[in-house]
Amino acid sequence: MIAEFPALSAKAHLAYDADGYIQEIDKATVIGFLMLKGIFADKKKHLFEESLATELSNLRKERSKEISSKVFVIFEAVGKLESFESLSEVKKDGFVVAMEAPPKQPIKNKYKSAISGIISSFSLGTNQICGAKKVSDGVVFYTEDNEPLYSYNLVGGKATISTGLDVNAIEFVKKYSKVLAKNQIYTDSSRLLAKSLDEENDELQSFLSVWSGLEIFINKTFSYYESLVYSRFSREDGSTVVLSKFLDRIKRVMKDKYRLSDKFSVICFELDQNNADQDMEEFEKIKNIRDKLMHGNDIDVSTLPIHRTRVSVRSLQTIHL
Q: Are residues 134 and 157 in contact, defined by beta-carbon separation less than 8 angstroms?
A: yes
Ordered by start, the domain boundaries in the chain are 3-178, 203-320
What span, in angstroms and rounded, lies between the C-alpha atoms of 91 and 100?
15
Confidence band for 10, pLDDT divided at 50, 70 and 90: very high
Q: Are residues 121 and 172 in contact, defined by beta-carbon separation less than 8 angstroms?
A: yes
Confidence band for 178, pLDDT divided at 50, 70 and 90: confident
What does the pLDDT read at residue 162?
Answer: 46
Residue-wise pLDDT tens digits, 243-284: 666 667 676 767 778 889 989 998 988 888 888 899 999 999
Q: Residues of the chain with pLDDT > 90: what percent? A: 12
What span, in angstroms and rounded, lies between the C-alpha atoms of 191 and 195?
6
Q: Are strands 10-15 and 3-5 parallel, antiparallel or unpaired?
A: antiparallel
What does the pLDDT read at residue 184?
Answer: 60
- DSSP for 160-172 reads EEES---HHHHHH
Residue 196 gets the label, from left (phi > 0), alpha (psi -120 to 50) or beta, of alpha
Helices (H) and strands (E) in the chain, counts: 11, 8
Query: Is the N-terminal amide bond of 153 cis, ω within 30° of 0?
Result: yes
| Average pLDDT, rounded, for the chain | 80
| DSSP H or E segment with residue 13 | strand 10-15
- What are φ and ψ of residue 202, in 5° steps? -90, 175
Q: 3-state DSSP call for residue 75?
A: strand
